[in-house]
């Protein structure tokens, strides 16, 4: 696809050492959310995606709002510390801002493997944000990630924690064992902890949109690995899935439906390209 070739050659001015000639997954997401921390290659890649799937900005916001609803829900259930892995670039209503509206003394650690993301997050926190830290760590190396978080000293893994994995597991290839990484992380959490995650899917998405999305991300900083509902549900094995709305079964659902006050209409969001869920770690696990 000749359009894709042009995506990789446009560059804006950027800090030394930052490669802006290749689309970056975090910056593309930032652009689709209306952020300013992105460059020409990121915008070109995102615009090419939106030329085939114009709803992408809306679904990016749906995912962001799920993250905010789930975070606030976990905080209202008495959890006062959070680990946000694959946090991405700072945007509006970040995790600590959502949490601190519920519990001002709650502690939040952000973790990301992208040095640019960490640089931006630390710049934000330099403005005097209390009870918050950011670390450079990779989900694909969960033991090292946990060691880094423990060394930071802000979280107490003997107490319940909210583990947040929004829009990150689909960037972990099967060969890197995302389920194993998740088991390592949840094993470190105290009973009463919660896991919230969202994940891109091809369920209900047309073949041409799937191919375009995968092709664009093949030229980006991270490759996309969509998964079906059963695979996403399996990430919660050993945990107690929570109903996505009052009266619902305990299951994963389309991202815009989780946390709503009323049942959705039949077929609502059926083609939305995200699954999401929240689960609790029970006693004895």
Does residue 76 have a pLDDT over 60?
Answer: yes
**Residue-wise pLDDT tens digits, 125-147:** 766 788 999 999 999 999 999 99
For the segment 164-190, the average pLDDT, to the nearest whole number, is 96
* Domain residue extents for the chain: 79-204+225-280
pLDDT at 1 over 50: no
Q: What percent of the chain has pLDDT over 90?
A: 53
For residue 2, is pLDDT > 70? no
Average pLDDT, the chain: 84
What pLDDT shows up at residue 47?
74
pLDDT for the residue numbered 31: 73
Determine the pLDDT at residue 147. Answer: 98
Query: Residue 146, SS3?
Result: helix
Model confidence at 11, pLDDT cuts 50, 70, 90, reads: very low
48-52, 92-96, 181-185: segment of lowest average pLDDT: 48-52
Measure the CA–CA gap between 237 and 234, rounded to whole angstroms: 5
The string of DSSP letters for 202-266 reads -TT--HHHHHHHHHHHHTSSS------HHHHHHTTTTSEEPPSSTT--SS-EETTTTT-SSPPPT
Mean pLDDT for 61-80 is: 94
| Stretch 99-106: mean pLDDT | 96
pLDDT at site 6:
31
| CATH code for the domain defined by 79-204+225-280 | 3.40.50.150
pLDDT of the residue at 28: 72
Band of pLDDT at residue 9, cut at 50, 70 and 90: very low
The residue to which tokens 């969509």 are assigned: 226
pLDDT, tens digit (0-9, with 9 covering 90-100), for 181-229:
999 999 999 999 999 999 999 898 777 666 666 666 566 556 779 999 9
| Chain center to CA of 266 | 27
Q: Residue 280: which residues within 8 A CB-CB, separation 6 or more?
A: 192, 193, 194, 239, 240, 242
User: What is the mean pLDDT of the segment spanning 144-165?
Assistant: 97
């Amino acid at each position: 696809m000749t359009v894709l070739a042009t995506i990789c050659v446009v560059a804006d001015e950027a800090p030394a050492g930052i490669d802006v000639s290749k689309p970056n997954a975090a910056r593309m997401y930032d652009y689709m959310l209306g952020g300013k921390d992105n460059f020409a290659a990121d915008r070109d890649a995102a615009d090419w995606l939106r030329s085939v799937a114009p709803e992408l900005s809306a679904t990016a916001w749906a995912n962001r709002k799920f993250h905010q609803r789930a975070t606030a829900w976990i905080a209202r259930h008495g959890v006062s510390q959070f680990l946000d892995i694959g946090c991405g670039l700072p945007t509006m209503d970040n995790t600590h801002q959502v949490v601190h509206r519920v519990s001002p003394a709650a502690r939040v650690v952000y973790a990301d493997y992208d040095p640019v993301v960490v640089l931006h997050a630390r710049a934000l926190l330099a403005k005097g944000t209390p009870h918050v830290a950011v670390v450079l760590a990779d989900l694909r190396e969960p033991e090292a990630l946990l060691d880094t978080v423990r060394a930071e000293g802000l979280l107490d893994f003997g107490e319940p924690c909210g583990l947040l994995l929004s829009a990150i597991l689909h960037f972990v290839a099967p060969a890197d064992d995302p389920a194993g990484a998740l088991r390592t992380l949840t094993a470190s959490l105290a009973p009463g902890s919660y896991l919230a995650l969202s994940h891109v899917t091809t369920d209900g998405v047309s073949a041409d949109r799937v191919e375009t999305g995968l092709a664009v991300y093949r030229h980006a900083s991270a490759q996309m690995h969509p998964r079906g509902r059963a695979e996403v549900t399996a990430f919660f094995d050993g945990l107690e899935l929570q109903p996505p709305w009052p009266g619902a079964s305990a299951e994963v659902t389309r991202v815009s439906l989780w946390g709503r006050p009323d049942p959705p209409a039949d077929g609502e969001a059926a083609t939305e390209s995200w699954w999401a869920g929240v689960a609790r770690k029970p006693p004895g696990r």
